[in-house]
């Protein structure tokens, strides 16, 4: 699995290209989302002693909505093609 950047695109979704199956790209995006949420929560607990719980919850919710959208769109595209 090779990851390379494509020039001239506007979104991270289009810049990350995984050679091979399109489903692998979706799995990679979902995995990165989970890792990012864990890093945000760990940073909030260790560095800020839980003082930024509202911001942490907001960021994790935004990442979850983004990941859910990517997952739902991948299922719709799978039926078409």
Look at residue 65 and tell me if it is in a domain.
yes
pLDDT for the residue 69: 94
The verdict on residue 16 lying in a domain is no
Local confidence pLDDT in tens for the 81 residues of the chain: 444 555 544 455 555 555 557 788 899 999 999 999 999 999 999 999 999 999 999 999 999 999 999 999 887 766 555
The answer to the question of residue 11 being in a domain is no
Supply the pLDDT for residue 75.
78
The parent domain of residue 40 ranges over 22-80
| Helix/strand/coil percentages in the chain, nearest 5 | 70, 5, 25
Is this model's pTM higher than 0.75 or not? Answer: no
Report if residue 26 sits inside a domain.
Answer: yes
15 located within any domain:
no
**Residue 14 maps to a domain:** no
Work out how many domains the chain is built from and give that number: 1
């Amino acid at each position: 699995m090779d990851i390379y950047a494509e020039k001239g695109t506007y979104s991270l979704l289009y810049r990350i290209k995984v050679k091979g199956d399109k489903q692998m790209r979706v799995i990679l995006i979902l995995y990165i989302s989970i890792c990012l949420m864990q890093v945000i929560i760990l940073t909030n607990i260790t560095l800020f002693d839980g003082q930024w719980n509202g911001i942490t919850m907001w960021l994790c919710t935004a990442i979850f909505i983004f990941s859910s959208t990517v997952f739902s769109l991948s299922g719709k595209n799978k039926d078409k093609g």
